[in-house]
Amino acid sequence: MDAADFSAVLSEVRRFVRERVVPLEAEIDEKDEMPADIREAAKKMGLFGFALPEEYGGLGLSMYEEAQLMFELGYTTPSLRSMFGTNNGIAGHVLMVGGTEEQKAEWLPKIASGEVLASFALTEPDAGSDPSTLTTRAHLDDGGTSRSSAAESGGEWVINGAKRYITNAPLADVFMVFARTDPDAPRTRGISTFLVPAGTPGLTVAPKDHKMGQFGAWTADVYFDDVRVPATALVGGVAGLNRGFSTAMGCIAHGRVHISALMVGMAERLVDESVAYASTRKQSGKLIGSFQLVQGLIADSQTDYYAGRATVLEAARAFDAGTDTKVGPSCTKYFASEMVWRVADRAVQVHGGAGYMRGVAVERFYRDARLFRIYEGTSQIQQVIIAKALLGEAARG
């Protein structure tokens, strides 16, 4: 995008976030719902497709540009980003990475406009940090023909299984479902991805989860009981058969940089909240900001924020260049998630007893921040990915 146009987009999003969404944060948290007018405004601004290609109606932002946009979106409740994050991220990228030209043409314009809300159905009750162990199955009802010819001429796939903690599931129009299509293949090689529209017979969405935080962003379990989809629902067509795991990993790597930038935006907000409170709250007749131990908390948080921002931008540059699409995303996700948790904890400490009260922004962000150390791969999984990559490189000499 032209630099001047991108600057205008950032300015518009910043105004939208700070003038329209921030004042509604407490209401969103209390009602566990995103206001309809905010959803419509996000659609008009192109936020449902900022990371999708321009040819399909998106803004076509690079990862570096996307990171800067996420800094702005992260300044408010993360449920705002969650509303359109899967369209731009892990769900929309399924089609970008692995879809056929026909699938892209049919679905991406609807996803980019917000006409269609997409969900990424990978996690299962017993397959979270290691999705290669998923047990949802899909078999081809081929009418006695070969697998490949049935896939090309109109056979149906039958899906059975269950997914857990699926973002936007109660609202989704289509699910990107990962299922095992070759039970005899090695764990990472027998998985495929399917486009399953909401309302397909046999697909059931459970009541939304009641979470610790991030209210306004809904998750739920999803069940598949002999769900039948046409051969054309196989993402990537015949060429996509048993390639779902690599598709998922490519989407998740992008998502890790994306979500890391969101955490940096949240850290900036937490620092601002801490500074504002320390500049007005008095103790013993003095502003608490005059106490050096409080100053130390604020200084540490600003330093964490500064380091997190630099880390994300460097990871985004490398991702765009294609020089690091695995270790960098894991490094930045690991650092940013631990960083924002430290900053949130210090913000509550600066606020003292007020920081523990519902209705105070830092209390809400404290609850919201905890999830970041878990989803998109736990901190411990990121450690394993980083260490294995480096040790493998060393072993190869």
Helix axes 63-73, 3-15, angle to 10 degrees: 20
Alpha carbon separation from 309 to 38, 261, 314, 353, 371 (Å, rounded): 27, 7, 9, 29, 19
Cβ neighbours, 10 Å, residue 391: 10
Supply φ then ψ for residue 188, to 5 degrees. -85, -5
> Is 138 in contact with 183 (CB distance < 8 Å)?
no
Burial of 374 (0-12, 13-18, 19+ CB in 10 A): middle
Q: And the tokens for 48?
A: 């449902």
Q: Please, which residues have CB within 8 angstroms of residue 62's CB and are 6 or more apart in sequence?
A: 316, 320
Supply φ then ψ for residue 128, to 5 degrees. -110, -80
The active-site residue out of 65, 66, 273, 376 is: 376
> Is 74 in contact with 264 (CB distance < 8 Å)?
yes
Q: And the tokens for 383?
A: 């450690």
Q: For residues 30 and 35, give the distance between their C-alpha atoms in angstroms, rounded to a whole number.
A: 12
Amino acid occupying residue 358: R
Q: What is the DSSP letter of 17?
A: I
72 tagged catalytic: no
Q: For residues 232 and 246, give the distance between their C-alpha atoms in angstroms, rounded to a whole number.
A: 20
Q: Torsion angle, CA of 277/300/379/172, rounded to 10 degrees?
A: 30
- Nearest CA to 244 out of 84, 106, 120, 389 is that of 120
Strand partners, 139: 158
Q: For residues 117 and 358, give the distance between their C-alpha atoms in angstroms, rounded to a whole number.
A: 31
- Nearest CA to 114 out of 30, 40, 19 is that of 40
Catalytic (active-site) positions: 376
